Amino acid sequence: MTVSLTIENLSAHYGSTQVLKDLSLSVAAGELVSLLGSSGCGKTTTLRIVAGFLQPTSGHVRLGDRDLTTLAAHARDIGLVFQNYALFPHLTVMDNVSFGLKQRGVAKADRLVRAGAMLERVGLSALADRLPSALSGGQKQRVALARALVIEPPLLMFDEPLSNLDAKLRVDMRVEIRQLQKANGTTSLYVTHDQEEAFSISDRVAIMNAGRIMQLDTPEVLYQKPANAFVARFVGFENLIPLTVKARDGANVTAEAAGGASLNLSQDIFGAIPDRFMLAARADGLAVKAVAGKGIAATLGTRTYLGRAYQYQCSTAVGDLVANGTLSEPLEPGTAAVLEPVAEQCCILAPEA
C-alpha cells in the first residue's frame, strides 16, 4: 500500500511567532523527500504537525485520500524514527519492535514472527532479549527503524535520525535506511540539517528557511541550478555578483558589475538573462587569471592549497570574492589579477529584493 502525502497551505504559530508560513508540499507514493534547513526553519514543526503532535493554525495534511488534519496522533498510522531513538527503556528489543503490532491487536505468535523477521532484516536477531540500555547507538537506531517499519505504515517519518551517530556509522546507516525504504516502497518524509545526508538519501529535497520552502527539487537541480539567492548560498555558491545588462547582441549579453567590470555571457548557456540579475558562482566557477582579460579586476589575498587547486580570497570593486586558480602558477598575495566566470559552473539568479 503506497500512498502520497499532501501538505496544503500549512501555517503554524508558537504563541505570536509564526513558524510555518503557508507551506505546501507533496510527497509522491514511494518517494523520499527531505526537509533541509538550519534549526528554527520549521522542518521539525512540519514533521510534528504531520505526526499529529502539533496542531496547525490553518492548512491540511492528507495521506492518500485520508485527511489527517484533525485525526488523533495515535490513529494516524505513521512510522516515526526519532533523533534520540526513543526506545522503550523498560522493554526488550523484541518487545520494542512488537509494540506497534500489539497495539493493532496482532496475536502474540504472529507478533513474534513478524517482529523476528524485521529484526533479522536489520541484523539484530541475536540481541532480541536485550534491553535498550545494553545497545550501541547504531543498534538502537536499527531497533527504532525496525519498530517503525514492522507496522508497515503508509508513511515513514525521520526526525534527524543520524545526528547522534558518529560520521562513519552515519554514512552506513543512511545507505541502510535508503535500501529499506526503497525495498518497502514506503512514502517517506526525512528531516535533517545535514546537506550531504539530505542529498544522498532523497529523491527530492525541500530547502527551508523561516517557515517557507525556498526550493523543492532533486538534489542535482538544487546543487546546479538554485532558484534563488538563499538556496544558492545554502548549496555553496559563495559568490553572488549583482550585474546590469548594458548591451544585447543576439544570444550574447554584455553585463556590467559595480566598479565597471564588464562580463560577456551567452543566453545559450544561461537561458534568458533579465536586465538586472545576479551571477552565482562557487570558487570553482571563478577562474583566477594573472594576465589581463575580460572579467572582474581583483587584488589577491590569502592563498589556500586545496589539493586540486589554489583558492584565493580576492578583494574587488563588487566586494570580497573567493576564486580558484590553477596549481601550475601559484600567485602571491597582493598580485593584481582578473576573475573570469566559468560559464558552465555559474548560474543566473533574480536580484535580491
Partner 1 sequence: MTARIHPVLGILTGIVFLFLLAPLVIIVGAAFSDTSYLTFPPRGLTFHWFANIFAIEAFRTTAVTSLEVAFLGTGLSLLIGVPAAYALNRYRVELPKWLATLFVLPILVPEIVFGFSLLKSITIGLGLPVLPSLILGHALLVLPYSVRVVGASLAAFDFSVEEAAISLGCPPVKTFLTVVLPNIRAGVIAAFILAFITSINDVSVSVFLTGPGISTLPIQILAHMEQFFDPTIASVSVLLMLVTVGVMAIVEATLGLTFLTK
Q: Torsion over CA of 126, 127, 128 and 130, rounded to 10 degrees?
A: 150
> Which three cell numbers, joined as nine digits, stand for 91?
522493554
Closest approach of partner 1 to the CB of residue 120, in Å? 20
**Piece of 24-32, 76-84, 283-291, 293-301 that binds partner 1 (CB under 8 A):** 76-84
Where would I find the beta strands (DSSP E) of the chain?
Answer: 5-14, 17-27, 32-36, 58-63, 66-67, 78-81, 155-159, 187-192, 204-209, 212-217, 239-249, 252-257, 262-266, 276-281, 286-289, 296-305, 310-316, 319-325, 336-341, 346-349
Considering the rule CB under 8 A, would residue 149 count as an interface residue with partner 1?
Answer: no
Closest approach of partner 1 to the CB of residue 350, in Å? 39
Residues 128-147 that bind partner 1 (CB under 8 A): 144, 147
Contact of 246 with 255, CB cutoff 8 Å: yes
Burial of 280 (0-12, 13-18, 19+ CB in 10 A): buried
Considering the rule CB under 8 A, would residue 111 count as an interface residue with partner 1?
Answer: no
**Piece of 19-27, 84-92, 116-124, 212-220 that binds partner 1 (CB under 8 A):** 84-92
Considering the rule CB under 8 A, would residue 90 count as an interface residue with partner 1?
Answer: yes
The 10 Å Cβ neighbour count of residue 340 is: 17
**Nearer Cβ to partner 1, position 73 or 292?**
73
**Piece of 20-28, 62-70, 79-87, 195-203 that binds partner 1 (CB under 8 A):** 79-87
**Nearer Cβ to partner 1, position 52 or 341?**
52
Q: Which of 10, 80, 253, 300 binds partner 1 (CB under 8 A)?
A: 80
Residues 242-281 that bind partner 1 (CB under 8 A): none
List beta partners, residue 17: 14
Considering the rule CB under 8 A, would residue 66 count as an interface residue with partner 1?
Answer: no
Positions that interact with partner 1 (CB under 8 A): 51-53, 72-80, 82-84, 86-90, 99-100, 103-104, 144, 147-148, 151
